[in-house]
Amino acid sequence: MKPTVLLRALALASLATVAAANDYKTGALEIQQPWTRATPKGAKTAAGYVAIKNTGSAPDRLTGGSLTGAGGAQVHEMTMDRGVMKMRPVPDGIEIKPGETVELKPGGLHLMFMDLKARLVKGQSVKGTLTFANAGTVDVEFAVEGMGATAGTAAHRMQMDHMQMH
C-alpha cells in the first residue's frame, strides 16, 4: 500500500471546507475527533491529535498516518527535559492495549505532519489517514482548530501537562 502517492496527487483537490463531528470505528478501534491546528504562513509542520479506544481483546499499534497536503507523517512524543519541551520520533508507534484509550494531545503524543504545501485554516476539515499495525489504514478527517487551541472541541479538559516537570 502506498497511500501517500495517491494523496499527493489529490492534495489540492480534496481540501474540504466543512467541519463535522469526526468519530470513526474500525474493527475494535474507536477513533475520536481527529484534529490539528491552523498553521501560520510558511509553516512546514503541523501536529495531529486524536483519541483512540481499543474495545477489542488484542493490542494494536498506531504506526503513522497522513494528511492531505503534507509530504509525510511521523509519530512523535513530547517529553520534558530539564524544563524544556522536546519531541522525538516514536519509530515503533504507540501501543493501544485492550480496554485502553490512548490520547494524542498537545504536550504529549502526536502525529507530526511534515512538508506542508498549504496553510491549514481554522474551520477546515482535512482528509487524512491513520495507520495501525493490525487494523490497517483508516480514512479520517482532521478538524482544523484555532492556532492557540490546546484541545479539540470534544476534549476541553485536555491541557498542556507539565506534571513531569522538576
Nearer to Cu ion, 88 or 117 (CB): 88
Q: Is 105 in the site for Cu ion (CB under 5 A)?
A: no
Q: Is 114 in the site for Cu ion (CB under 5 A)?
A: no
Q: Residue 88: CB partners within 8 Å, gap ≥ 6?
A: 76, 77, 79
Q: Which stretch binds Cu ion (CB under 5 A): 60-68, 92-100, 112-120, 149-157?
A: 112-120
Q: How far apart are CA 60 and CA 99, in angstroms?
A: 11
Q: How far is the CB of 50 from Cu ion (least distance, A)?
A: 14
Please give the residues from 7 up to 66 whose contact with Cu ion meets the rule CB under 5 A: none
Q: How far is the CB of 121 from Cu ion (least distance, A)?
A: 21
Q: Is 118 in the site for Cu ion (CB under 5 A)?
A: no
Q: Is 112 in the site for Cu ion (CB under 5 A)?
A: yes
- Using CB under 5 A as the binding criterion, the count of chain residues that bind Cu ion stands at 3
Q: Is 90 in the site for Cu ion (CB under 5 A)?
A: no
Q: Is 127 in the site for Cu ion (CB under 5 A)?
A: no
Q: How far is the CB of 77 from Cu ion (least distance, A)?
A: 8
Q: How far is the CB of 84 from Cu ion (least distance, A)?
A: 14
Q: Is 76 in the site for Cu ion (CB under 5 A)?
A: yes
Instruction: Give the chain as a 3 state SS string.
Output: CCHHHHHHHHCCCCEECCCCCCEEEECCEEEEEEEEECCCCCCCCEEEEEEEEECCCCCEEEEEEEECCCCEEEEEEEEEECCEEEEEECCCCEEECCCCEEEECCCCCEEEEECCCCCCCCCCEEEEEEEECCCEEEEEEEEEECCCCCCCCCCCCCCCCCCCCC
Residues of this chain that bind Cu ion (CB under 5 A): 76, 87, 112
